[in-house]
Structure 1
């Protein structure tokens, strides 16, 4: 039985991934931003354990974890949580830049640092769910894309730094996926939202599982997933 820690398990890709791993009988640790959210996750995923830590405040994650039990052995760390705010560079205040950089890039880096001992013991796998915006930038997407380019750099550096410890690092770049975040993006774009036009979160979860289940003689380092049809 493998042990996984997932961020963003409350909805979308993270929830689909947690469901699939729970069905396999794996042990789940789910990160929640507060105690109330942690209780909701435990109710939704019976048997799962929770850690409380706010990704919007990565400087306090170490303190938060020092007051909780953390997994001593970790087969995978799955960074799925993220936030998005659209806007032109000319109109984006520094607080918006900082919030997206904290949640999307700095917090995953810090969370990985804190959990590396358990990952090294297991020769584990770190998966960063990035975005198509982590590969190319469109107008109005500057601050979000900057955070996703940053987390791409974190993943690429980590892959080389931890190779000697047997860690595998995968970045997944999903296109538009039918999640609450995508609905928010459509609202900000002033566009009608039709979930059937976009990738099902379960399809991205399947992609992530393929990377996790790959035999050790091979490594999926980067995966791009695009809407079909």
Structure 2
């Protein structure tokens, strides 16, 4: 039985991943932005434990987690939470850039730093849920794509730095996934939305589990998942 800390477990890919790991009897620690959300997550995943901290304020994560119980050994840290603000370079002012990078890049970096002792103790695994936009930047999603490119760099540097400590690092690059975020994006862009053309969150969760379960002699460093035929 593994011990896993997941961000973004309330819906979409995070919920599918938490559900899969809970079904097989693993121990879940779930990050929530406030106490009310934490109570909802504990109800959604009986037996899970929660930590309360706001990813939108990465500079406050250390103080927020201080004094809260957290695992001494951590088999995986799964960075699933993220935000997306559509817009072109000509349209986006500084604030959405700052908000996007805070949640999508700075918070994962800081949370990883804070939990590295537990990950090193277990020879654990850090998984970053990236995006196809982290490899090929589409027009109209510049801040999101830029944050995902930066997340790719974070993962690559972390993999090289933590190899000596036995910590593995995987980045997952899904295409369009049938999530509430995807539906909202299509609505804001005035585009039709057909879930049948998207990847199911459960399929991405299965890919994450495959990376976690790979024997210790290898690492699935980068996983690209495209919608099926």
TM-score (normalizing by structure 2)? 0.99
Deviations 1:128-158 (A, max 9, x none): 0000010011111111111101111110000
Report the Cα distance in structure 1 between the residues aligned to 2:182 and 2:144, rounded to whole angstroms.
Answer: 13
Report the Cα distance in structure 2 between the residues aligned to 1:89 and 1:20, rounded to whole angstroms.
Answer: 38
Q: How many pairs were matched up?
A: 229
Task: Provide the secondary structure at the position in 1 that maps to 2:227.
Answer: coil
Question: Which segments of 5 or more consecutive residues in structure 1 lack a partner in the other structure?
Answer: none
Deviations 1:185-205 (A, max 9, x none): 101221111111100000000
In structure 1, the residue matched to 2:188 is 188
Deviations 1:61-120 (A, max 9, x none): 000000311111000000000000110111101110001100000000000000000000
User: Is 1:133 aligned to residue 133 of structure 2?
Assistant: yes
Task: Provide the secondary structure at the position in 1 that maps to 2:95.
Answer: helix
User: Is 1:119 aligned to residue 109 of structure 2?
Assistant: no
In structure 2, the residue matched to 1:99 is 99
In structure 1, the residue matched to 2:110 is 110
In structure 2, the residue matched to 1:80 is 80
Superposition RMSD on alpha carbons, in Å? 0.6
In structure 2, the residue matched to 1:27 is 27
Measured after TM superposition, the shift of residue 178 of structure 1 is 0.1
Question: Which segments of 5 or more consecutive residues in structure 2 lack a partner in the other structure?
Answer: none
TM-score (normalizing by structure 1)? 0.99
Which stretches of structure 1, 4 residues or longer, exceed 6 Å deviation after superposition?
Answer: none
In structure 1, the residue matched to 2:67 is 67
Report the Cα distance in structure 1 between the residues aligned to 2:32 and 2:188, rounded to whole angstroms.
Answer: 26
Report the Cα distance in structure 2 between the residues aligned to 1:54 and 1:79, rounded to whole angstroms.
Answer: 14
In structure 1, the residue matched to 2:221 is 221
Measured after TM superposition, the shift of residue 184 of structure 1 is 1.1
Report the Cα distance in structure 2 between the residues aligned to 1:221 and 1:153, rounded to whole angstroms.
Answer: 13
Task: Provide the secondary structure at the position in 1 that maps to 2:215.
Answer: coil
